Amino acid sequence: MNWHPFWLSLQVTATAMLGILIIGLGLALLLVRVPFRGKLLLETVINLPLVLPPTVVGYYLLFVLGRGSFLRETLAIDWLFSWQAAAIAAMVVGLPLMVQTARAAFEEVEPDMEGAARVDGAAEWQVWWYITLPMARRGIMAGLILSSARALGEFGATLMVAGNIPGRTQTLPLAIYDAVQARRYPDAEMMVISMTLIAFGCLWLVYWLGDRDEKRASRQRKTSSYFS
């Protein structure tokens, strides 16, 4: 089995994960905390990759990265058919999961606690770092894990903007497709098992984090009821 697609997939996913974390948190906070006209439209656009075929998402990305785009014509950045294009495609398809999960987590943060911190003289960044983020950490971690797993498995949009170039842009899902087409079933089986184990581990981690926090909350409720 050629391990290059595996390591390339990890590189692409790690890059996409960084973008998902930064952009996803920013968008989630914007949707939760800032009232503005067009919020429904923005949320709809963010979630479009969840319902559009991946090839359609890839087609739109061609306009963003391809000939005539701002990136290529003005900034002279040509990322088409490169691993960077694969990372952008992976980030776009994984971003909605992060935004929705982080948004739900931020909505569960008690505004009274943030307000009390402000009354005590805390700056906004301190409220964000010491109050909001810790209280929303479970949802943020779950969203990051799920969106990263989705980014790892991206196929259609990656094929449109990065191609399927062995040793350059061929990620693990594309390598599986090639192996099946070439009837290299032992290689395909190894890669399929690898991706299945990674996906299983990501889902298990999400459920484990949720179960751990639920047990901790249950113990706290029991302790508080005992002393009340």
Quick one: which H or E segment has residue 24?
A: helix 4-33
Which residue, chain included where needed, has tokens 């979630």? 47
How many domains are there within the chain?
1
Give the model's pLDDT for residue 20.
Answer: 96
Amino acid occupying residue 132: T
Sign of CA dihedral 132, 133, 137, 143: positive
Structure tokens at 196: 């299945």
d(C-alpha 145, C-alpha 179), whole Å:
27
* Domain around 145: 4-227
H helix runs in 66-184, sequence order: 70-73, 83-107, 111-119, 124-127, 133-135, 137-152, 156-162, 172-181
Looking up residue 213, the CATH number of its domain turns out to be: 1.10.3720.10
- What burial letters (b/e) apply to 22-52, b meaning 16+ CB within 10 Å? ebbbebbbebbeeeeeeeeeebeebeebeeb
Give the model's pLDDT for residue 148.
Answer: 92
pLDDT in tens, the chain (228 residues): 678 899 999 999 999 999 999 999 999 999 998 888 989 999 999 999 999 999 999 999 999 998 888 888 888 888 889 999 999 999 999 999 999 999 999 988 888 888 888 888 888 888 888 888 888 888 899 899 999 999 999 999 999 999 999 889 999 999 999 999 999 999 999 999 999 999 999 889 888 877 776 666 566 555 555 545
